[in-house]
Structure 1
Amino acid sequence: MTKKQAREDAAGQLTRTAVIDAALRVLDERGLDGLSTRAVADHLGVRMNTVLWHVKTKARMLELMADAVLAGIGYDDLPDAARDRARELVGRYRRALLAHRDGAALVTGTYPAEPHTLRFADALVDALLNAGADERRAAWTAWTVTYFTLGLTQEEQAAPEEDDERLAHAIDPGTHPALRRVLPHLRQNFDERFTFGLEAIL
């Protein structure tokens, strides 16, 4: 199958799925700041109006992209124990965000009520309900876990490698004694911080 055939339907027309796939490739190449409907059109070799015909607006394109990012979450081989299942689902959510450049920033700025997003939310809430939470606690815990994961992952994807060194120089023992005391634990360590934060919430 040629590249052209992969992005067209049976009638030879560009599909919305192909537009979103192209938008994700542009995201990975240029980051969120370099993403635009024009950049997607250029990537596909079509006019910008063609892209807009499929997605209507950039905001709608971002919603569809965010939902496509969550398509990377797998639901096979989940633990039977409800709390373990919730942990695993959130871990897979984080990995899906990390699979795309600026993935967390993209998802943070959108509110898609789309199939992949709803499937993840339903699976997470179901695990929390089965772990013993009532309806409000399950819903609010799902929100809290999601916000925590988005925030930490967005920081992880944006953090410069020299951030730890810069922080160490900025914290003065006389002015910030408490921060100086815990400085070794302020370093990036995103995997460990994610595990700690998730456990604290659950």
Structure 2
Amino acid sequence: MSSPSTPPSADPARPPARGRPPRLDQTRTVEAALVLLDESGLDALTMRRLADAVGVQAGALYRHFATKQDLLTALAERMLAGCSAPPADPDWSGRLTALARRMRTALLAHRDGARVYAGTHSTGANTLGFAETLIGVLSEAGFGPREAARTALTVVHYTVGHTLEEQAALQPGDQGPADPEQLREAVTAAGLPHLTAALPVLTSADFTAQFEFGLGLLVQGLRALHRAGSGPAA
């Protein structure tokens, strides 16, 4: 019978857990990496800093992430959580643009999100689910598998590329923000009439308008091909 001072589950012969390193959990580690990313940016996200944040030795991280690229792939996968649900828009082009907007929003939600995502090749449920939904929208609209895949890649590349430029311009660091007045002075001094006329757009910080314009061009081209019944391969 246990004494009142000893819990029934306690084992007096077992050494106390105090001082033991915490068990490394992959999900918790990815969440901690996202916090560090948002605080300091991608360049400052090192395996050593992440290990300190989760309270383990740096070498312990390599049981889950053999390289930093593996960590970035896990972060990219986490960023796309919630992006794969089929949009409710009845029109295929509306569903396509909704998915592109979702991806941009997901990448913008984290500092250097587009830089993290670029070049990763996750095979996780979030990434594959998003790709399945995107290609599915195009397939259901009548595009063949090859054309649907190429179109999906085009949409993703446009979204990631635009968001890379957007985050580079808006976030603090060595690359930005850009000085619109410097561009204006250089164009005026060079006497370039076409660039001078375009300056209101070139110096604008309305990145949503820029993104929507480019996305609209993609969709218009796809609609034209769809109406012609030729598909992108033709």
- Please state which band the TM-score falls in when normalised by the shorter chain: 0.7 to 0.9
C-alpha distance after superposition, 1:155-185 (max 9, x if no partner) = 1111034532232122236443221121112
Give the aligned residue type for 1:21.
Answer: E
Structure 1, unaligned runs of 5 or more: 1-11
> Is 1:153–2:169 an aligned residue pair?
no
User: What does residue 214 of structure 2 align with?
Assistant: 197
Identity %, equivalent residues: 40
Higher share of residues assigned helix? 1
User: What does residue 185 of structure 2 align with?
Assistant: 169
Aligned partner of residue 56 in structure 1, secondary structure? coil
The 5 Å alignment of 1:1-202 reads 13-73=23-83, 75=85, 78-159=88-169, 160-172=176-188, 174-186=190-202, 187-202=204-219
Contact 1:70 1:116 in 2 (8 A): yes
- Higher Cα Rg: structure 1 or 2? 2
More deviation, 160-169/13-22 = 160-169
RMSD (CA atoms): 1.8
Aligned partner of residue 139 in structure 2, secondary structure? helix
Aligned partner of residue 109 in structure 1, secondary structure? coil
* 2-structure distance, mates of 1:179, 1:167: 10
C-alpha distance after superposition, 1:181-200 (max 9, x if no partner) = 21112123210111111111
Q: Quick one: structure 1 residues 167 and 132, their matched pair in 2 at CA, closer, same or farther if it must change by over 3 Å? A: farther
* 2-structure distance, mates of 1:59, 1:168: 39
User: What does residue 3 of structure 1 align with?
Assistant: none
* 2-structure distance, mates of 1:102, 1:124: 24
* 2-structure distance, mates of 1:14, 1:198: 42
* 1-structure distance, mates of 2:110, 2:153: 22
Structure 2, unaligned runs of 5 or more: 1-21, 170-175, 220-234
Instruction: Report the Cα offset of residue 63 of structure 1.
Output: 0.7
**What's the TM-score once normalised by structure 2's chain length?**
0.76
In the alignment of these two chains, the number of paired residues is 191
* 1-structure distance, mates of 2:159, 2:217: 13
**What's the TM-score once normalised by structure 1's chain length?**
0.87
Contact 1:66 1:110 in 2 (8 A): yes
